[in-house]
Structure 1
């Protein structure tokens, strides 16, 4: 490939297979898929998901919301609890025709949304975040605060669109049984929260759940209306360790060039350091530690046992995962040779680049811009 390195490559064939797999699975379970576009932050990727049957998108920043709206996407869920000082940007989007749903998980945040709605004459569509696994944020499904938040949102300026949860602790699991159990817990607790709101007369039409591992593991989604998942579009080595894909499914890789050697150490030096791969070491705590990434040949085929074992800002060290000094790597990968590196965390690696190069089955590489910022 005549491409300057390091470069972020998307394998279009693999990506299409990942999209089809998730879409087919969730359609069979009778729910909508609202993909989380924070992984790619790329219009071309989101359009491929939309064309496969996705309904709306999930965003993690208002910059994403603004950029995707400008690109023609109108139905979006901002799945981060809204900060009061960001409400003016939400107002601008809605007034321009964007169907934007907001998220809160406290009475204070709900009061701020209601106040802004009344001041601007808008009625915000709002979801309440539910904590289904102690992972991060959200209100407990049995907490009195859940009802209080719902009641605040019914006082004008807003309406309760539904409840939302994210079982992020699924990233810590690695067996089908554990993933299926968490997927059921995620479903049941979010549905329970919706039932509690409905029982006191607060309409709660939507029940939104999702993480890539639980979405794939789910066997029953009764009571759920939509699933949000993001990293499935590319997958990565963390997901491989979780057990929901294999390295052969990972559609994002970093193209790199060999720039030197340390023969006595069995090291091959490449021009993809942590600025190219990101600092994410998510596999370090998992059953297989891939260092800063797994090494593939230039066509994307995994080379068994090779990883980027160390990284400086612009230098990566390719070596045996078991630490053995393999001097044969010097001859095998001479200076100027090209390799691809699979990322630990696709979202973090993608964030290092202003654009991707989408590689077709025919080998053509097309630039796909990527959003940056908040």
Structure 2
């Protein structure tokens, strides 16, 4: 799109985040590799006593998705706030508790965990260590956090920009079928798929069309297409190939690194199949696939992580959940990059209207996975 769907303030924040990741802060670090993953600790020579740490989900900090974007927030905090840092990358779910314990043993003042799957391990660590502050990306369960004053959920209503993506995909499909696949059948994945499906349905209603959505139906959640994890790129490719064989010409993979399999299928199609990426702008994080990426559904996880670390350092930490929405620019639909010239003439204006209608409540997103 020629005009961004993002407020200027967010563009500035994103630019700062990207700039913060362009060059690592001057640091003397030690790195050790163990059976549980990779741990590193270090910081600027001028860093103070405050220490911010992070534990990844499976996929690690170079997953071009939610782990990497969250990690960008830590990198920027280290640079801007002159703090110490520590981090652990998880290879499997069995690493979560061990990695958390290592960060606690490293005397971290705040530990940020990344991903829905770390929920129970993070709650246990927070209860056992009331003097340490915790934040978790993509998880919130009030029944488990009741009374916890040292754990802040960082959650995002990605159904909102996914609705916009579903509408856009339906408008740009040449075959009349689009598809989506997930990593695991969990709320932080299905929230994208719900919004995408509903956006395409809204397009059909508005335009009197019949674009089909393959791979997911909110009315039949057990029948969706899921890889089974977030790391199996070949599995993501197989499902994407199945969807394209059924007629889909735009694929929406919500599968972390496994979603790269869908990008590979799109790239190999020679333009017959394209994709919508998630979590970060795919034309930035996966630039080699940009010619196949129409747009991306983004979560400002880097900004949320940076803000919670800054608040903890300044003594203003609150356990109240942060919810990223279209209204507060915590989620957004990226620009259309190389597909701007291929967009239907009216689509840009329609997306702007849809965004405003979602924010005002005129359009109601129906997804049980939305943050409450």
TM-score of Structure 1 vs Structure 2, range by shorter chain: 0.3 to 0.5
User: Structure 1 length as normaliser, TM-score?
Assistant: 0.34
Which structure carries more helix by proportion? 2
Larger Rg: 1
User: Structure 2 length as normaliser, TM-score?
Assistant: 0.34
